[in-house]
Chains A and B, each alone.
Chain A
Amino acid sequence: MIVKRERPGVLDSWLAVGVIRQLRLDRLLPNVVLTVIVLICLLPVVWAVSSSLKGAKELYQAVPSLLPAHPTLGNYTFILTRRGMEAMPQNLLNSIEVSISTLLLTVLLATMAGYGFSRLRFPGRDGLFYAITMLMFVPRAGGLMAAYELMAFLHLRNSDWGLALAFSGALSIPIFIMRQTFLALPTELEEAAIIDGANPWQLFTRIEVPLVTGGMVVVAILTFITSWGDYLFTLTMIDSPEKMTLSVAIAAISDWSSALFQSSAFATYGAQAAGQVLLMLPVIVVFILLQRWFVRGLQEGALKL
């Protein structure tokens, strides 16, 4: 748990002379620089939103402006209903399906494994856990190519479930997080239940799981963000336009050599921007609302590393 403590600032000085001037500079400088950086961080997002709300005339005016003077929702209707974009609503649904299935599956598997690695005893437990964790750092040589062969062999290409299963394979970080969460729990409740004759499954469902919902939420958020935004793996595994996820579809319509994009350049950037906003929106919402949990989970993972 990070506790913010008062620290002497970098520009503090114990000299009485010029203390006031020093103090002001001390407070001003970091904030000014940080504000500039924050604006740069936000610029692309603002640009995407404003482009998506601009009509064609504004998009292609000689001097591009940052904010739309006459906002319109035309680009959104374009990207969801126009001829040539029929697959888009389905792509959106696919993304939602894949992400939700992935996060449910991952949370389930990670929680089970986390419980097993922390509370149960079996030969090779710790070695296995370290192996799983260290695998995170092994560079993936030819992993995507081998995965291609594997998925084709299992007939899992071009399917939402296949994607969800494949994404759920990335269990190193989730198991790590869940195990940490379990280890931090006191054992008194469990011991009482054991004395009453509970078996591990009952312990798991009745006692442990309700106590680790925090960790489960962190894993869920991380998994959602990763699977929602995935591009390369999905691109490799899915061929048909109806089965694509939103991430891949947006990229496809932005590629000027793509056959999907039939209309003239008239609404190019606007519709693309609308797609990008649709892609970014769920992630931003999830992130800001649950930022507290998210940062804590990441810090726990990083601290232990």
Chain B
Amino acid sequence: MSVLTERGNAASATLERPIAGRRSSYRLYGNPLWGYLFVGPPLIVFAIFNVWPILRGIVMAFQDYRWLVPRTQCVWCTNGLANYAELLQDDTFWHSLRVSAAYTLMYTPTTILLALLVAVLIGQVRSSRLEGIYRVICYLPVVLPVTAAVLVWKSIYDTQFGYLNQFLTAVLGIQSPPNWLGSPEWALVAAVIPAIWRNFGYDMLLFLVGLYGIGSELYEAASIDGAGAFERLRFITLPLLKPTFVLVLVLSAGVVSATEEMLLMFGSVGGPGESALTAGLYAYRTAFLVGDMRLGYAASINLVLGLIQMAMAGAVFLFFRTERA
């Protein structure tokens, strides 16, 4: 990593020195106009489709903007904190927040631990080819389209024709397997499992990268000093994986606004008794699927979620207080 940065610096350093005998072309090369020419078009697209929605979204979170009611549509007018006052009274919102919290609590530790476990195990595999195969297959669910992934699981969950309950009763001998999609207790769990299945490969890859960065000399020295397997894990692997943990946790903070999986699995209702109505889904529903299409109110919900996300990321940084390698 440092090698590349040095080379990068060397590259720009060479260009900063005038090249003997060709000062005119050097000046052309260092002419900022060229820089703007190359960076301009991408920046314009980026600004319009990426930056503007973020800024506009934040402003919208303070407006009572209803798509189907033209007179409420304005760019700069705000109605102060009225949206948030309404949010405080909104029972569905609080319910959805609880659902999101439950979802996050089920999803995050499981995914991270599973990813860590798989990464450590893959690190133990001797044959490079086998290791490659494991890695590829574990990462495969990450690239599958959300729609296909969730819908396949939906059909696996089917109590009559799906494979899961058949497997549970026939192979594992569980007498009455749960009604995954139909019962309020299990619906959220049913939504979490495909999400874990889909995303653990990504975290696993990050852990693998961190793992490969740990030199084998440390392990050998520890072995010579008499450290057993689990001591090595505790005192070498885990501490040295701290930066990776930080990265993984910060990236996982986004799960509080999970919307797609629930929408695909249960539709806009949000599951039996709205038991799988995450806050993200509630916001989406408010904005696009019901009533006046209250984009403003939905943006407020998303803003609250975004703040929670940033708070979680901040908490992770504070908790670990690691220096970046």
Docked CA distance A228–B135 (Å): 23
21 contacts between A and B (CB under 8 A): A13-B228, A63-B166, A115-B38, A116-B34, A122-B34, A135-B54, A139-B310, A140-B302, A141-B54, A142-B61, A145-B302, A148-B287, A150-B48, A175-B42, A185-B11, A186-B11, A199-B29, A204-B38, A273-B155, A276-B148, A288-B136
Contact of B148 with A47 in the complex, beta carbons under 8 Å? no
Given the known inter-chain contacts A195-B19, A257-B267, please indicate yes or no for A119 contacting B233, CB distance below 8 A: no
Looking at A8, A11, A168, A199, the one whose CB has the most chain B CB atoms below 10 A away is A8
What 14 additional pairs, Cβ within 8 angstroms, besides A142-B60, A280-B148?
A11-B124, A14-B223, A45-B152, A47-B156, A64-B166, A132-B46, A140-B306, A143-B54, A144-B302, A146-B57, A187-B15, A229-B147, A273-B152, A302-B205
Judge whether B263 is part of the interface by a CB distance below 8 angstroms. yes
Contact of A64 with B126 in the complex, beta carbons under 8 Å? no
Interface residues of B in 17-67 (CB under 8 A from A): 19, 21-22, 25-26, 28-30, 32-39, 41-43, 45-46, 48-58, 60-61, 65, 67
Contact of A149 with B295 in the complex, beta carbons under 8 Å? yes
Task: Choose, from A68-76, A80-88, A246-254, the stretch at the interface.
Answer: A246-254
Given the known inter-chain contacts A165-B49, A171-B50, please indicate yes or no for A142 contacting B126, CB distance below 8 A: no
Q: A168: which B residues are within 8 A, CB to CB? A: 45, 49
Top 9 A-B pairs ranked by shortest CB distance? Answer: A169-B49, A142-B299, A142-B57, A229-B145, A122-B35, A116-B38, A139-B306, A122-B32, A146-B56
Judge whether B238 is part of the interface by a CB distance below 8 angstroms. no
Task: Encode A34-76 as 1/0 by CB contact (under 8 A) with B.
Answer: 1001101111110110010000000110011010000000000
Contact of A279 with B54 in the complex, beta carbons under 8 Å? no
Q: A170: which B residues are within 8 A, CB to CB? A: 49-50
Judge whether A118 is part of the interface by a CB distance below 8 angstroms. yes
Judge whether B96 is part of the interface by a CB distance below 8 angstroms. no
Contact of A199 with B216 in the complex, beta carbons under 8 Å? no
Q: B19: which A residues are within 8 A, CB to CB? A: 191, 194-195
Docked CA distance A120–B7 (Å): 15
Q: A155: which B residues are within 8 A, CB to CB? A: none
Q: B122: which A residues are within 8 A, CB to CB? A: 30, 34
Q: A63: which B residues are within 8 A, CB to CB? A: 166, 170
Contacting residue for B50 out of A33, A115, A169, CB 8 A? A169
Summarize A's interface: helix, strand, loop or mixed: helix
Docked CA distance A175–B125 (Å): 35
Contact of B58 with A148 in the complex, beta carbons under 8 Å? no
Contacting residue for A121 out of B15, B45, B118, B260, CB 8 A? B15
Interface residues of A in 216-231 (CB under 8 A from B): 225, 228-231
Q: A150: which B residues are within 8 A, CB to CB? A: 48-49, 52-53, 56
Q: B156: which A residues are within 8 A, CB to CB? A: 43-44, 47
